[in-house]
Structure 1
């Protein structure tokens, strides 16, 4: 596309009532979003970038980072740190605040709601005078399949 040509449109990234700012809807943003829709597991920016490249979709690594961060900031995807501390992303089936159980071996993720965690976090914050708090909880362990493999000596 010639320099200066704008193939992007502006559209809300989420319903207008959500308070989310409008984002430019570019081919790259649509490609990243579509790729996330096809994935079941969390994926790093590097992994997503390679997936897009293998499909012949031209998105720079820097653009992929920006788009993923924008989608996460808008609450359209989840971002968390894996066992190695790397940011990974996924479009989750559960909307609203939730937590994750993550397999240290295969990367399987399960979304969970944890009312006891919510109560504890609010109480702990209040006890220390904190307001407007937010939190994330990721619980790392072995999924049932990897636990069985380990018990059978195959892990």
Structure 2
């Protein structure tokens, strides 16, 4: 049992090191990396905990990180009221469950922030010279 717990801790440690390392690799300066890490951890002006829950690595935490990152990039983020929460799964077990064999974990739910207002957007793959629109499964060009 101790060996399985050790494996789980090792997986978590590796994940955290890779995530933090990615931030320093991806950001153009240390101050930007620090701000990004603060947003990821919930310390970017929103507070780490409140009366709702601990948001760390949750849908709400991701939304707060989006808002902090958008402000840092000089963009005006949308408000929480602009979205509705939609549950996509209530049986997500995650890496700890599937890789470590540790089965005492309760499943999590996965939720998406879906815009309330109709939005039109497209994704362009410049290198592949393809473009997709939100309602199309086939390339536009």
Superposition TM-score, scaled by structure 1 size: 0.24
